[in-house]
Amino acid sequence: MDTFEYQALLDIRNATRQFAKTGQNTVPVELYREQQKELAGAQAYIAALQGQLADTKAQLKTAEDRARLHKMREEVETGNLANCKKLVAELRAYFRPKVARLEEENAALKQQLAGKA
């Protein structure tokens, strides 16, 4: 029971006691209807707030899911980057001797051409 409902029930009880003290055994219909309207309004307001709370919780869950996916994507990209760097290092280590040999052959060919000229 929410505080609005509780307050409305307290108001009804207090009004009932007040009328009982004056010798009346019932609450006037107008007062009862007024209190019921206030209670219905409070219940509608509570329902609207509960709907907003549910929407906010759903938005929060969506945001948390997106953040989790973003983190996973970053981890995958970081792993891919590390793998790429490792592959580049391996390829450089593999091709350096070949490039050095080709550069030596190129230099030797240039000297041969310079010697013939």
Q: Give the Cα separation of 64 and 9 in Å (integer).
A: 40
Q: Give the Cα separation of 106 and 98 in Å (integer).
A: 12
Model pLDDT for residues 72-107, shown as the tens digit of each residue: 999 999 999 999 999 999 999 999 999 999 999 999
- Looking at residue 60, its pLDDT comes to 97
- Contact by Cβ (8 Å): 11, 42: no
- Looking at residue 39, its pLDDT comes to 87
Instruction: Determine the 3-state secondary structure of 117 from DSSP.
Output: coil
- Contact by Cβ (8 Å): 6, 42: no
Average pLDDT, the chain: 87
